[in-house]
Structure 1
Amino acid sequence: MLVGGGALATVAVAGIVAVAVVNEGGGKSSADPSSSLPTPEDIPSSPGQPEPSFKEDRPPAPPEDFIGDPQKDTAPLSTETLFPDETVTVNGRKYARAATDSAKKCTSGAQAGLGPVLEKNGCGRFFRATYERGGLAFTLGIAVFDSKAAASAVKAGYKPNVASLSGGGVPTYCRSVTCRTTVNALGRYAFFTIAGHTDGKPAGASDEQAKQVALDGSEFGYGRILQRGKDQSAAEASAR
């Protein structure tokens, strides 16, 4: 009797626990825990995420892409765009613009052997400007061609020299005396300088002042042509 009563008591307790579990499960129990997870149909839908919208980011084209190709190098080209400032500073030295000139016949701005070299390589326009400082002056000549190869050929076959340009208080100079000259090319442009004393004094090999003025003129020309390419590159980038 005692043993039997103990078994009944155990069963009764177990029954109570089972009822409690059933009631807590909401009237249904399952050994599979995933059955209590919400189904996709039970999850409320959310609005779709917007797609990003922005322009393609690309760096500006190199300036040389413009100044080397006549199809891209379409900005206005004149003495006003090449030599816009009345004064320029090169390597800390200030020069005043005295005169400018442009010609479709390139040989009109050249003397000695330079004219035939320009003509042979198809020079289309020739621009000149003279700048003066303390009795010294340089004339910068910029020749325009249809290709980078033509400008490079002029540099390689260079024979002096660009004709000095007088005006604006600068007399005719460097026509019958020794003067300093330079030549270079950038893109489809070849450019030249001739520099010397405005009082007619020769500027020989030992004349460091005249040499520096000629180099300043060449550096100024390089900068002006490169700036032309930079301006066109920036304009294209801003238009995207």
Structure 2
Amino acid sequence: MQGTTAQRWVKRWDRQQEYDIPDREERFRVVIDAVRAAVGTGPANVVDLGCGPGSLSARLAAALPQVHVVGVDADPLLLGLGAANTGPRVRLVQADLGYPSWPERTGLSGPWDAAVSSTALHWLDADTLATLYRTLAERLRPGGVFVNADHMAPGNSTVDHIALAVRAGRTARAGTHRHEGWAQWWQALGEDAELAPLLDGRPPAPIEHTENELTVVEHAELLRASGFAEAAPVWQFGDDHVLVAVR
């Protein structure tokens, strides 16, 4: 696969992700600001959970020149696109975060300075997520952070409804509701003959995504119960949050 092909598809991926996340780039910058505040500007090891094609990983490495990022994802196709589109301080590895032994399988023994995630952990059920959070608490160094950017309801039925309306309004103003959607992106990808080697062995339909529907308050409580000293949101727009937990 040509690097230009990977770049084209990752750029198209980034655009379709904005369909539901009109402020995705700003949210990325908030995640990077949080990591920088925690680890400084010196050498640091960061793990990107559910990294997809490495969009956040690449931005972290570009913004923090002494950081090394390991992106973890279960999808070999997305990792293949990312491997052709990220720099030398980003390593992408295949592992299923639903299995507790994923750090050993990927050689990520720790300690880590930070872990991040963007729009990826909503598909883990609460029990699996609790196991993942315990793993993070065990692997992060004291003072290390976990920064999670995702749709998480505020946690009040009336406010939750308003938060969805706020995001819908923002999406309409930004015009991202006219972008290509998730299913359309995957359909188009499957029609690109150059990507056939990456498509081999992958299910013919896109991987189904379900929501665990945990609120931001429930995420924070789960993180504290898993061994983090503190957990709270540092950024919000509607139901879109960046949540930081400190080890």
Query: Shorter-chain TM-score category?
Result: under 0.3
Higher RCO (CA-CA < 8 Å; seq separation 6+): 2
- Give 1 or 2 for the bigger CA radius of gyration: 1
Calculate the TM-score normalised by the size of structure 2. 0.25
Q: TM-score, normalised by structure 1?
A: 0.25
